[in-house]
A = this chain, B = another copy of it.
Amino acid sequence: MTDSERTITRVSLHDELVGRLRDLIVEGELPPGGKVPEKQLCTDFGVSRTPLREALKVLASEGLLELHPNRGATVAKLTLEDVDEMFPVMGSLEALAGELACRNLTDESLAELRALHYQMVLHYHRSELAPYFRINQEIHEKILDIAGNATLSSLHRGLSGRIRRARYVANMSKARWAQAVEEHERILEALSSRDGPRLGDILRSHLANKAEVIKEGLAADTGEKRRSA
């Protein structure tokens, strides 16, 4: 009885908890700025406090939580300053990813990206925001994947995770949305022509525009009371 099909607990309890808690934070189940109820989560997950606290430490090192000594952990809330800081970095990372992706872009991968792109455009024309976001995320992740740089993907994933929950509140305007789709058209063009530097530039400005959308959403969300589910 080896570990072949025993994937219930992926690797370890604490590692599973990290993923579960990250989902809770990203999905907004744990409101930003709110305290993290250690005991409550223990009973919810049916685990002891030790693996949970280990998970909290990891999430804190990722920047999703803030640990206050002897005062528990709180969900790190995304400020406008954070977005201003993170998106230039995201832009640089994605620009690098774009350049790398263009180098080892196969026809198959390009076809997959094209399929994703037009599916996303379809969701745009149908004004289906959630599916649009999902495909959008998939496209960016796929570019990271094609880039084939695990370190790059890891850093990007970390930043993206911190931003993703803010993206849920981002009701972008029609104009912004159209602009984003247009930029994705150019992204696909650059990919098709394997123009790495150009793709990098497009991604960088694309991310900068995304930052504006997020910031507008955050500004609109200021003072808003969060409805928990």
Contact = CB atoms under 8 A, between A and B. Distances in A.
Interface string A179-191: 0000000000000
Contact of A58 (B57, B66, B82): B57
A88 B96 contact: yes
A223 interface: no
A50 B2 CA distance: 26
A67 interface: yes
Interface string A51-82: 00111011011110011010000001001001
A151 interface: yes
Interface in A73-98: 76, 79, 82, 85-86, 88-89, 91-93, 95-96
A152 interface: yes
A14 interface: yes
Interface residues of A, number: 39
A86 B151 contact: yes
Contacts of A154: 63
Count the copies: 2
A150 interface: yes
Nearest to A159: B151
A69 B12 contact: yes
A214 interface: no
Q: What DSSP secondary structure best describes chain A's contact surface?
A: helix
B155 A155 contact: yes
Contact of A76 (B1, B14, B62, B67): B1
Contacts of A106: none
B85 A93 contact: no
Interface of A: 1-2, 10-12, 14, 50, 53-55, 57-58, 60-63, 66-67, 69, 76, 79, 82, 85-86, 88-89, 91-93, 95-96, 100, 149-152, 154-155, 159
Given A86-B151, A155-B155, 6 more contacts: A53-B54, A54-B57, A55-B57, A58-B61, A61-B62, A85-B151
